[in-house]
Structure 1
Amino acid sequence: MTRTLEICVDSAEGLKVAIAGGADRIELCSALALGGLTPSVGLMSHAARAPVPVLAMIRPRAGGFDWSRDEIAMMEAEIAAAAQAGLAGVVIGATRTTGTGTLLDAPTLERLAIAAGDMDITLHRCIDVVDDPLAALDLAADLGIRRVLSSGRATSAPEGTARLAEMMRHAASRLTVMPGAGINPVTLPCLLSALDPAEVHASASKPDPGPATLTHLGFHPEGARRTDAATVAELKRILSAQAG
């Protein structure tokens, strides 16, 4: 089995580095430090020229995934921009929190899926905040979503291995459950042995402290990270070496 390595990036430089390292697919974002927000139109247009498929994160703000009517309309416009730029797909998610818990917001996801049309669609880690991820997988499959990114409702995918295995069994051949969060060259081998996933998602990044003056003035965030080609290449090597 040939495994797919998806790398999330939030800049033109990150895109270039990820491809140089051997990424098979890109999740294109802005503000990865906030979990990834919708990339700019300019970055989407630039990324459309990449030699690998690129999916744009569609998330208009940081925080949770219960969207207002205005935010839903914004996401529809962002999906249209991704399609117009020529990207392969989009990464979406929406939840609804009630007095009895949190579940996927089916009407909103249906609207977003309709807006995406024939584009490739990933459901992002909003599935990690719902109460019943197995029911969420059923809904995602019914909507034609091709894959779900998840850490198994844990801080990292290696910590959520047992739940991820359950989700993968439940999804069967209907869609792909793609482990993500906390995946690096140290944690990946055990994850592959435990789950044998078809696709893996990682940031493959290293600290990027930046100039002290820019950080002091608020132009460069503390704790910033940047994509590292060597890390991407090592992840790809491990995936290839342990291919089933």
Structure 2
Amino acid sequence: MSVLLEVCVDSSEGLAAAINGGADRVELCSALELGGLTPTPGLIRQAAVSPIPIYAMIRPRPGNFVFSEADIDAMLHEIDAVRSAGLAGVVLGANLADGQLDHTTLDRLMRQCDGLGVTLHRAFDLVPDLTEAVEIIIELGFERILTSGRSLTAFAGIDDLEQTFEVSNGRIKVMPGSGINISNAGALLDRIPFGEIHSSCASIMPPVSEAARRLGFETASQKQTSVDLVRALKNYCLSRQV
């Protein structure tokens, strides 16, 4: 079996690029520049007819993952909307103020996810104790952990990634993400035999409108999923057997 490639996207164009480039699964978001928020209803509807599994981000606002009761209520409704649309799964997470996983909130959210696949997102990268966090995630019934090894990029966190992979011991999937691309995926997989990797496969796009940039609607670092980058990374994943 080859390494599975998940691509995160936040637009209709990105969704099409991921599919046409051969991604195995898509993480569907809005506002990737903010780390990914819940996708819009329109984008969810578009993704519902995709030929590959789509997992929607459940994150109602930017910032930390310490959620209020109002935030949690919004997340429960968003999970229901994703299920109603027919998507394959969701991506979510919640922390306490000290970085520990919020077991109570995660349990409530997981109970709402009946029939959906669930990925624990990079809320994992805030935890103070990797082993404890892995055990909580397994006990709650998550499918996988998306993590950068508690660092800005997966390569910076490679020691923690290795520890997480060893602690999981095949009981849950561990999927590295953040900064992974065709130029460095091999070095990561040579050290840790991950079965899945996560990438934006994006390139920086110049602002289309100078007026929109001046008013803050576009930025100089705005990115767009590239079908060529997806295809290149997918072809590499096909060459790696796990």
Could you state the TM-score of these two structures normalised by the residue count of structure 1? 0.96
2:219 corresponding residue in structure 1 = 221
Aligned residue among 128, 135, 138 for 1:141: 138
Q: What SS does the aligned partner of 2:124 have?
A: helix
Aligned partner letter, 1:232: V
Which structure 1 segments of 5+ residues have no match? none
Which deviations, in whole Å up to 9, do the C-alpha atoms of 1:136-164 show, x marking residues without a partner?
A: 11111111100000000111111211111
* Identical amino acids, percent of aligned pairs: 43
Q: What SS does the aligned partner of 2:115 have?
A: coil
Q: CA separation in 2, counterparts of 1:243 and 1:161?
A: 20
Residue 73 of structure 1 deviates from its aligned partner by 0.3
Which structure 2 segments of 5+ residues have no match? none
How many equivalent pairs are there? 241
- Structure 1 residue 67 and structure 2 residue 67: aligned? yes
Q: CA separation in 1, counterparts of 2:128 and 2:95?
A: 11
Residue 66 of structure 1 deviates from its aligned partner by 0.3
Q: What SS does the aligned partner of 1:91 have?
A: strand
Aligned residue among 195, 198, 202 for 2:199: 202
Residue 222 of structure 1 deviates from its aligned partner by 3.1
- Structure 1 residue 192 and structure 2 residue 189: aligned? yes
* Aligned 1:117-196 pairs, distance under 5 A: 117-196=114-193
Residue 85 of structure 1 deviates from its aligned partner by 0.7
Q: What SS does the aligned partner of 1:209 have?
A: coil
4+ runs deviating over 6 angstroms: none
Q: CA separation in 2, counterparts of 1:29 and 1:222?
A: 20
Aligned residues of 2:92 and 2:118 also touching (Cα < 8 A): yes
Aligned partner letter, 1:230: D
Q: What SS does the aligned partner of 2:96 have?
A: strand
Aligned residues of 2:2 and 2:239 also touching (Cα < 8 A): no
2:52 corresponding residue in structure 1 = 52
Residue 180 of structure 1 deviates from its aligned partner by 0.2
Aligned partner letter, 1:108: T
Q: What SS does the aligned partner of 1:184 have?
A: coil
Q: CA separation in 2, counterparts of 1:242 and 1:55?
A: 24
Q: CA separation in 2, counterparts of 1:209 and 1:36?
A: 21
2:100 corresponding residue in structure 1 = 103
Q: CA separation in 2, counterparts of 1:175 and 1:118?
A: 18
Q: CA separation in 1, counterparts of 2:3 and 2:59?
A: 27
Residue 42 of structure 1 deviates from its aligned partner by 1.1
